[in-house]
Structure 1
Amino acid sequence: MPAVRPRRCLSAARGSADPMMGRRLSKLAALIAPLTLSFSPATAQESPAAPAAAPAPVPTEYVYVALTVPQGVITLALDKTHAPLTTANYLKYVDSKKMDGAVFYRAMHFDYDHEQGLLQGGVRNPANLLPPVAHEPTSKTGIKHVAGTVSMARFAPGSATADFLILLTDMTSLNADEGNQGKDPGAGFAAFGHVVSGMDVVRKIWNAPLSPTKGQGVMKGQILENEVKIVTARRTKAPPTAL
């Protein structure tokens, strides 16, 4: 701890035998006094500093895509603000028309509750697949897996291409672990939007007959007897229900 230098008493300086020192201190006191008055504690209390305002939340920018199927139209709202990479990847398939002719082929129903599950679809022609997209976990995007959420199917993180999921019910098990940076274990799936209209169409497809023999492993018994083709996938305006 540094030594404390003793303060020199102003009254002792005035009584000093050195008259020049006394005059210098008098001038110094005259200079300090106005500053002390102008920044007095009373003045500071009358005008407290205003607290810094919290930054305004960034509005979410959505891009809307209409999937036309024989049963009707499913409109997706893709979150460009929070999942920009995954949204841009999906839009590449839409804008290049590589999503035209894609199919919904899997309807997963939970064994313990057949009213819960998900619908899966995507591009089945390998020639139409683009390079995989970097994984955007929910721990970074904040987009959770609830009913109506649109998310990417994948194997390892960063392997997703054009297969996507539409959730019929909340599925928190698909979310990434808190703080996860996008690597397994615990990376979850990349949610990037939600169905804004046409959930009744989604449910019609999901409730279609399943094949008892198609599929392998966990997918056996979850494959639709007849795939449902996406006739067209096009950007569209926000439907009235999204306004």
Structure 2
Amino acid sequence: MKKFSFLAAPLLLISSLAGAQEGVPSPAPTPAPASQKEEAQTQLVVLETAMGNITLALETERAPVTAANFLRYADEDRFDGTVFYRAMSVDWGEQPNGLLQGGTQNDPKRILDPIAHEPTSETGLSHTKGAISMARMEPGTATGDFSIMLGDQTGLDANPDGETEDVRAGYAVFGHVVDGMDVVRAIFASPTDPYKGEGWMKGQMLADPVEIIDVRRIDSPEGDEAEPAPKETNSAEAP
């Protein structure tokens, strides 16, 4: 399972099973060019969970590789039956603050090949409240785990002046919540188990993970379903 680690407020880094990575706080993100401030093409997706629905707008134009990856997982039902399993809290900023993590947890029957990294310095996106971002190890290792920001976490954005490759690359934002932040907050507020998790993750795992029942494309936030894209064949069959 991919991991996120707060190392030094306000810095939030995403890592994987190997554990936390070190870094330094990054400056505020550079404003996006005027062309990127114009409305870009997005695809709406609904995450139907056991606690309610969360609607996302995926940045298919600004972050095409990462958005297409998430849509493939959705179209092939690879997210269906997975869970939100981790709620990481921080005590700074407007509360509640932290991130909610879910996805495939490296299940070999669900995950696809890793995708190329799309840094925020190229996409013009940022880890603001409600942003959805890919969990990963090194840049270019993201598969099927993701997190939703409860508050602004711009320290996750690419920082070209960072001291390490990881900080320079940042993490790949590919969409944002357009409806259902109340559901995100409710799942985030679910009890955690003080004994679950390893190392610095101990105490961050939900005592009762919340099921992601279905993930599908829609035409509007009201829930009209869109026609699914053709499924691609892959040796790893979705459950």
TM-score range, shorter chain: 0.7 to 0.9
**Distance in 2 between residues matched to 1:220 and 1:86, nearest whole Å:** 29
Please state if 1:73 is matched with 2:45.
Answer: no
What is the percent sequence identity of the aligned residues?
49
Question: In the TM superposition, what whole-angstrom CA distance separates every residue of 1:137-176 from its partner, at most 9, and x where no partner exists?
Answer: 1011010010000000111000100100100000111011
SS state at 2:209 partner: strand
Question: In the TM superposition, what whole-angstrom CA distance separates every residue of 1:176-197 from its partner, at most 9, and x where no partner exists?
Answer: 11478x9534211100000000
AA aligned to 2:61 is T
8 A Cα contact 2:193 2:206, kept in partner:
yes
Which residue in the other structure is 2:231 paired with?
none
**Distance in 2 between residues matched to 1:205 and 1:56, nearest whole Å:** 32
AA aligned to 2:47 is L
Residue from 38, 42, 50 that aligns with 1:62: 42
- Going from structure 1 to structure 2, the CA distance change for 1:132 and 1:55 (only over 3 Å counts) comes to closer
- Going from structure 1 to structure 2, the CA distance change for 1:61 and 1:211 (only over 3 Å counts) comes to same
SS state at 2:61 partner: coil
AA aligned to 1:210 is T
Residue from 97, 109, 122 that aligns with 1:116: 97
Which residue in the other structure is 2:62 paired with?
82
- Going from structure 1 to structure 2, the CA distance change for 1:99 and 1:224 (only over 3 Å counts) comes to same
Which residue in the other structure is 2:115 paired with?
133
Which residue in the other structure is 2:77 paired with?
97
TM-score by length of 1: 0.72
SS state at 2:184 partner: helix
**Distance in 1 between residues matched to 2:205 and 2:131, nearest whole Å:** 20
1:73-222, aligned counterparts within 5 Å?
A: 73-112=53-92, 115-124=96-105, 125-178=107-160, 183-222=165-204
**Distance in 2 between residues matched to 1:90 and 1:106, nearest whole Å:** 19
| Rg larger in structure | 1
SS state at 1:126 partner: coil
**Distance in 2 between residues matched to 1:221 and 1:137, nearest whole Å:** 30
Which residue in the other structure is 1:46 paired with?
none
**Distance in 1 between residues matched to 2:112 and 2:220, nearest whole Å:** 27
Aligned residues: 187
8 A Cα contact 1:61 1:81, kept in partner:
yes
- Going from structure 1 to structure 2, the CA distance change for 1:225 and 1:147 (only over 3 Å counts) comes to same
8 A Cα contact 1:101 1:123, kept in partner:
no
In structure 2, the gaps of 5 or more residues are 1-33, 223-239
8 A Cα contact 1:139 1:179, kept in partner:
no
- Going from structure 1 to structure 2, the CA distance change for 1:55 and 1:90 (only over 3 Å counts) comes to closer
AA aligned to 1:96 is E
Please state if 1:231 is matched with 2:213.
Answer: yes
Alignment root-mean-square deviation, CA: 2.3
Higher relative contact order (CA 8 A, sep 6+): 2
- Going from structure 1 to structure 2, the CA distance change for 1:126 and 1:64 (only over 3 Å counts) comes to same
In structure 1, the gaps of 5 or more residues are 1-53
